[in-house]
């Protein structure tokens, strides 16, 4: 999950890390090793600067438009059935979340599957460590850009995905736990293929287009100073992944393992 990035005009290496946005300690296996690499760099960049995500304006962007609720969209019968399924399968009370966009509800359900022993997600933990270590902390994408992507996902597609989840809760749970197993065992290619499949027709907007933006901005940061960059692991591999795009931009990349010495 960790890759060293180097170029002909800078001696000191930089790093690109594939993170997972969870508080599950299974994702934290190499965190001490990662902190050592952060110490070696001057800039830390997350997928997004997490300090930008606070505030009511952001939270309201996660709500359905025009004061609608999920009940309004799918009707009483489907809503109550979905509510019973989520309560039984996840201990999740849908009434508390029915004002949210269906994709946000799906994300909340996914978080329930994972443990929350760490208190912070892995990317939040690393970002806080970098800030306390005096590093320049920034984001690859802006909050406005991520919210714009969210608004572009058709509501009918979000609804269908949520209803499909309700019809296949066991399959959804297995998929998430498989992703965690891939991540825990550093099986980056398997994680990428599984994530790509799960995105369906949204993969261009959610993965490929964002990879192009990420590669350009990572390259710009690399021109300034040494960088430790943490983005979702699924963005790294593939012919349209950030690693390949950085190679196309003239950088050299190689995997780094805990037994390696800097």
Residue 96 lies in a domain: no
Three-state DSSP class for residue 64: coil
Tokens of 40: 């070696």
138 found inside a domain:
yes
Domain assignment of residue 93, yes or no = no
Domain annotation covers residue 44: yes
Tokens of residue 33, six digits: 């090793």
Q: Are 79 and 71 in contact (CB under 8 A)?
A: yes
Q: What is the dihedral of CA 205, 206, 209, 214, to 10 degrees?
A: 160
Segments in the chain below pLDDT 50: 56, 261-262
Distance of CA 212 to the CA centre of its chain: 16
Give the chain's domain count.
1
Query: Does residue 260 fall inside a structural domain?
Result: no
Identify whether 70 is part of a domain.
no
What does the chain come to in residues?
Answer: 262
Task: Give bridge partners of residue 48 from the DSSP assignment.
Answer: 141
Residue 187 lies in a domain: yes
Q: Which tokens go with 247?
A: 């190679």
Distance separating alpha carbons of residues 232 and 53, to the nearest angstrom = 17
Q: 88: part of which helix (H) or strand (E)?
A: helix 70-90
Domain-located, residue 164: yes
Q: Name the nearest CA neighbour of 24 among 168, 172, 125.
A: 125
Q: What does the pLDDT read at residue 262?
A: 45
pTM of the model: 0.91
pLDDT the model gives residue 61: 86
In the block, which residue shows the tokens 């399968």?
89
Instruction: Give which of 112, 114, 129, 107 is closest to 46, Cα–Cα.
Output: 129
Q: What domain range is 50 assigned to? A: 2-55+114-255
User: Is the Cβ–Cβ distance between 74 and 163 less than 8 Å?
Assistant: yes
């Amino acid at each position: 999950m960790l890759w060293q990035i180097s170029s002909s005009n800078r001696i000191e290496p930089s790093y690109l890390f594939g993170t997972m946005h969870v508080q599950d300690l299974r994702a934290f296996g190499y965190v001490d090793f990662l902190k050592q690499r952060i110490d070696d760099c001057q800039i830390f960049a997350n997928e997004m600067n997490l300090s930008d995500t606070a505030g009511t304006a952001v939270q309201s962007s996660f709500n359905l438009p025009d004061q609608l609720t999920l009940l309004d969209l799918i009707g009483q019968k489907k809503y109550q059935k979905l509510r019973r399924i989520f309560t039984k399968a996840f201990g999740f009370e849908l009434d508390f979340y029915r004002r949210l966009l269906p994709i946000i509800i799906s994300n909340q359900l996914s978080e329930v599957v994972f443990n929350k022993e760490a208190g912070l997600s892995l990317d939040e933990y690393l970002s806080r460590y970098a800030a306390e270590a005096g590093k320049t902390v920034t984001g690859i994408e802006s909050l406005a850009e991520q919210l714009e992507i969210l608004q572009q996902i058709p509501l009918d597609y979000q609804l269908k995905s949520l209803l499909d989840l309700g019809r296949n809760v066991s399959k959804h749970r297995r998929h998430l736990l498989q992703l965690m197993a891939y991540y825990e065992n550093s099986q980056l290619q398997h994680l990428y293929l599984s994530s790509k499949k799960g995105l369906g027709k949204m993969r261009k907007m959610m993965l490929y287009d964002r990879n192009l933006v990420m590669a350009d901005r990572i390259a710009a940061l690399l021109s300034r100073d040494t960088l430790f960059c943490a983005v979702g692991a699924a963005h790294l591999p593939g012919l349209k992944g950030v690693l390949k795009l950085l190679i196309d931009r003239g950088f050299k990349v190689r995997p780094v393992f805990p037994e390696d010495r800097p």
